[in-house]
A and B are shown apart, each in its own frame.
Chain A
Amino acid sequence: MDLLYKIFVDPFLQMGTAPDLLVQTLWEGLVAGVLYSLIALGFVLIFKASGVFNFAQGIMVVFAALTLVGLHEHGVPAYLALALTIAVMFCLAFAVERLILRPLVNQPDIILFMATFGLTYFLIGFGELIFGGETKIMIANQLGLPRGAIDLKMAGGFVSIQKIDIAAAIIASLMVAGLAIFFQRTRIGRALRAVADSHRAALSVGISLEQIWVIVWFAAGLVALTTGIMWGARSDVSFALDVIALKALPVLILGGLTSIPGAIVGGLIIGVGEKLGEFYWGPLMGSGIESWFAYVIALIFLLFRPQGLFGERIIERI
């Protein structure tokens, strides 16, 4: 009885008695959720256009952030370093198409998936070789990102909001809106969706698969860079960051592998659910449930909607 009370009643009472804490927790959850969404978005972009589940997306985040910080450490001004990092991400996309996708075209999906494992370890080794393995600090200030916090008086108390989090939310929203317009309303966007739907039809209207793959990996690289900057500014830049890629898995289960809105909503749900779970239900289990609670949420969703929130419904003809 006591346990049931602690699980089903007490947390909600706490929410009611201290609404400011609830708002604070929700905000923290949303901010974490935005970053999860961005990582999941990188996966979705590549999966949609080339059918490859890119295991390396997490490490691409680290690699992008590391390149940016590493260049700055070598005396390159911040904005130039940013431009150079974008160029590096483009070269990476180009190299991936030439060296991995093109030779493996028409191979089973599992082969391509394994190839992205290889890419992951290559990027780890290559990044360490060039920039060293030690933890670095993101150059958030030099890039003009705000610092400090704002205290808002609301809900009968104070809610503290980090300025960098606001910036992250705004930048992520702009990026998602931009990608949505790009995908829906331009020639290249149409070509991307076309390739996702039918390779031979895309070829017949003169769309070049090679070009599309470069573009989509580059787009995923840009998303990775943005994620790397935002995440790096909140903690720091190290290879430990790639565990956040694992956070993308429950988001993808929730949102569906092929849906951009799914990645966004899924990320927010996981972020908020995780923080609420940690804050209100965590103490019951001695805390630290944040690392696995996301999977529980995803599992529960999976029971009811195996195709994810926005995923394409799988209809079997018999």
Chain B
Amino acid sequence: MRAVGGPDVAVGDVLLSVENVSLSFGGVKAVSDVSFDIRKGEIRAIIGPNGAGKTSMLNVINGFYQPQKGRITFKGQTRAKMRPHDAAYGGIARTFQNVALFRGMTALDNIMAGRTLKMHANFFWQLLRYGPALREEVEHREHVEEIIDFLKIQEIRRVPVGRLPYGLQKRVELGRALAMEPELLLLDEPMAGMNLEEKEDMSRFVLDVNDHYGTTIALIEHDMGVVMDLSDRVVVLDHGNKIADGTPDEVKRNQAVIDAYLGVAH
């Protein structure tokens, strides 16, 4: 594991480090030569203007995209390639920018789906829904009910998620990610499209998850106020390049960041 650079706000050891990652689609460079790390227990924000490569970065970490260059080290294991299944298995959970839920299923079933990898009863017991399969269902249901209580969505647990308002859908999606008991939780714009009250709720949940479960969180967010309040450290991307990395205060004062956001006279 390489030494941790940067400001001394270490919360713990490095959980995930991204080294010199480049990703392009055809001729379009989405991410070029980006390195940063995420430490155990911290809330790490990834910010940047539109098209900066934030979501691409998340997709690389979670195995949806394979970077052409660079390495990713997660829990001390370095890999060039990873499939989404391996990422989920290793303890990386995520939410999506435009909510990707199982729309036809109830909130409860959606969150139960997050337990998929924790359940092991084989196909034939499942077909019968008896013996080990039934025991397992009950056991995992308890855990899921805890998450439902935690997110305060008891009254909507039987509602197909397609019918829920956007803010609640985002909460169910967070619940599904939490059900995986992740070590690293990736949130892609968890507050996008929310009103002030919903944003405050969601911010509280993010902080509570970090406190209560000790989950490391990496989040993409546009609302600067939210980012500055929530995160321990911030990495700033612009046009696929890293332009700053540090505490919220440092980043705020960084001239490159100000230029990227406000534009600069050429």
A interface list, Cβ under 8 A from B:
178, 181-182, 185-191, 193-194, 196-198, 200-208, 215
Q: Choose from B105, B116, B177 the contact partner of A207 (Cβ within 8 Å).
A: B116
Q: Which residues of A contact B103 (CB under 8 A)?
A: 197-198
Q: Is B100 an interface residue (CB 8 A)?
A: yes
Distance in Å: Cβ of A91 to nearest Cβ of chain B:
15
Contact A187 B85 (CB under 8 A): no
- Secondary structure at the A interface, as helix, strand, loop or mixed, is helix
Contact A198 B100 (CB under 8 A): yes
Q: Which of B117-160 contact A (CB under 8 A)?
A: 117, 119, 121, 123, 126-127, 129, 133, 136-137
Distance in Å: Cβ of A180 to nearest Cβ of chain B:
11
- 19 A–B contact pairs at CB < 8 A? A178-B127, A186-B129, A188-B126, A193-B102, A194-B105, A197-B105, A198-B101, A200-B64, A200-B96, A200-B100, A201-B100, A201-B101, A203-B88, A204-B62, A204-B93, A205-B88, A205-B116, A205-B180, A206-B89
Q: Is B109 an interface residue (CB 8 A)?
A: yes
Extra contacts, 17 of them, besides A201-B96, A201-B102, A206-B88 (Cβ < 8 A), are A185-B137, A186-B129, A186-B137, A188-B123, A189-B126, A193-B109, A194-B102, A194-B113, A194-B116, A200-B100, A203-B85, A204-B84, A204-B93, A204-B177, A205-B93, A205-B180, A207-B85
What sequence of 0s and 1s flags, for each residue 60-103 of chain B, a beta carbon within 8 Å of any chain A beta carbon?
A: 00101000000000000000000011001100011010001111
* A-B contacts at CB below 8 angstroms, number: 92
Q: In the complex the two chains form, what is the Cα distance from A215 to B127 in whole Å?
A: 11
Q: Is B170 an interface residue (CB 8 A)?
A: no
Greatest chain A CB density within 10 A among B100, B113, B129, B180 is at B113
Residue of A nearest to B173 (CB): A201
Distance in Å: Cβ of B132 to nearest Cβ of chain A:
11
Q: Which residues of B contact A196 (CB under 8 A)?
A: 104
Q: Which residues of A contact B177 (CB under 8 A)?
A: 204-205
Q: Which residues of A contact B88 (CB under 8 A)?
A: 203-206
Chain B, interface size category, equals: 20 to 34
Residue of A nearest to B127 (CB): A182
Contact A205 B100 (CB under 8 A): no
Q: Which residues of B contact A201 (CB under 8 A)?
A: 96, 100-102, 176
Q: Choose from A181, A204, A215 the contact partner of B129 (Cβ within 8 Å).
A: A181
Residue of A nearest to B179 (CB): A205
Q: Which residues of B contact A204 (CB under 8 A)?
A: 62, 84, 88, 93-94, 96, 100, 177
Q: In the complex the two chains form, what is the Cα distance from A193 to B177 in whole Å?
A: 17
Distance in Å: Cβ of B101 to nearest Cβ of chain A:
6
Q: Is B114 an interface residue (CB 8 A)?
A: yes
Q: In the complex the two chains form, what is the Cα distance from A185 to B127 in whole Å?
A: 10
Q: In the complex the two chains form, what is the Cα distance from A178 to B126 in whole Å?
A: 10
Q: In the complex the two chains form, what is the Cα distance from A198 to B133 in whole Å?
A: 25
Q: Is B112 an interface residue (CB 8 A)?
A: yes
